[in-house]
Amino acid sequence: MMANAGVVLAIGKFESIHRGHRALIEETIRRAKQRGLASAVMVFEPHPITVLGDSNYKPLFTGPERVCLLDEYGLDYIFPCPFNADFATLSPAAFCEKLFCEYHAREIIVGEDYRFGHNRVGTVETLRAEASKYNGDVHVIEVMEDSGAVISTSLIRNLLSANRLPEARKLLGFPFFVMGVTAKGRQLGRTLGFPTLNIYPDDDKFLLADGVYATRTYIQGEELQSITNIGLRPTVNAPDSAVKIRSVETFVFDLPEKFLDKELYSLQIKVEFLNFIRPERRFDSLDDLKAQIQLDIKSIPAF
- Average the pLDDT over 74-91 and give the result: 94
Residue 285 has pLDDT above 70, yes or no: no
Say whether both 68 and 193 belong to one domain.
no
**Res 142 pLDDT > 90:** no
Q: Are 174 and 66 in contact (CB under 8 A)?
A: no
| Pair type for strands 211-219 and 137-141 | unpaired
Return mean pLDDT, the chain: 87
Residues 86 and 200 in one domain: no
Is residue 52 domain-resident?
yes
Same domain, 52 and 143: yes
Residue 101 lies in a domain: yes
CA distance 15 to 12: 8
Same domain, 141 and 232: no
- Same-domain pairing of 218 and 141: no
The backbone region for 187, taken as left when phi is positive above 0, alpha when psi lies in -120 to 50, beta otherwise, is left
Q: Is there a single domain that holds both residue 44 and residue 122?
A: yes
| Domain end point (choices 102, 119, 153) | 153
Q: Where does a domain end: 153, 168, 188?
A: 153
Share of the chain above pLDDT 90, in %: 63
Within a 13 Å sphere around the CA of 255, how many CA atoms are in the beta-carbon half? 16
pLDDT (0 to 100) of residue 287: 73
pLDDT digits (tens, 9 = 90+) for 156-199: 999 999 999 999 999 999 999 999 999 876 555 555 556 789 99
| 254 and 124 inside one domain | no
Domain range spanning residue 51? 7-153
Structural domain count of the chain: 2
Output the CA angle 50-74-179, nearest 5 degrees: 50
